[in-house]
Amino acid sequence: MPGPVESGHELLVDLFDGDALGAPITVKWQQNFVARQSTYYRVDAYNTATDETVPFFIAAEYYKSSTSSNPNHISKVGTLLPGEGYKLKVNDKLQYGQKNAEGENRFIVFHDKERKPYQHRFIETAVLSALAKSGEEAAGKVLTGFGLSGAASAVVDTVKAYVGDYLHTF
């Protein structure tokens, strides 16, 4: 089994395709006693170092074509591979969540690092969004992408290992 994504690896992220991606997910959290929320797209990024895909959350304003003037847009920090997507080097611009210190079920987040949601918010939101949109089978596939198993309707139980942990920076 390949190891988790590490600093220095390169990820390939597909070009933005709003039709294929559908609506972004909304991640909600509390920060400094204020309710916050932001929209993200959840995609599968290809890790060239491990020959595996990894769940990748990217802030909508860093991904949508209409926001390409943003200085942190993927087109400004990644290398465009025409017809394929963007090659993005894993560095301190990215954060990650994981199940344990060994890096199991690691997923990547590319957003404004001033945002401080707990890592379980991404998993919960992605699975519940898939469950609402496409049903148990699609939500189960999202769970599998995180290396988790079981009924998607029991998502709260599957993310207990993530509760209370902030994202980590590479």
Q: DSSP characters for the chain? A: ------TT-EEEEEPP-HHHH-SPEEEEEEETTEEEEEEEEEEEEEETTTTEEEEEEEEGGGTSGGGTTSTTSHHHHSEEETTTEEEEE-STT-EEE-SSTT-TT-EEEES-TT---BTHHHHHHHHHHHHHHH-HHHHHHHHHHTT--S-GGGHHHHTGGGTTPBPEE-
Q: How confident is the model at residue 154 (pLDDT cuts 50, 70, 90)?
A: low
Average confidence (pLDDT) over 144-167: 60
For the segment 37-56, what is each residue's pLDDT rounded down to a tens digit? 999 999 999 999 999 999 99
Render pLDDT for 69-113 as a digit per residue (tens, 0 to 9).
999 999 999 999 998 999 999 999 999 998 888 888 899 999 999
CB-based contacts of 37, cutoff 8 Å, min separation 6: 26, 27, 28, 29
- Whether residue 153 is predicted with pLDDT greater than 80 in this model: the reply is no
Average pLDDT over the chain, rounded to whole? 84
* pLDDT surpassing 80 at residue 148: no
Q: What is the pTM of this model?
A: 0.80
Q: What is the mean pLDDT of residues 110-136?
A: 75
Q: Which of 4-13, 93-102, 137-146, 148-157 has the lowest mean pLDDT?
A: 148-157
**Each residue of 129-139: pLDDT tens digit?**
655 555 556 65
| Mean pLDDT score, 145-168 | 61
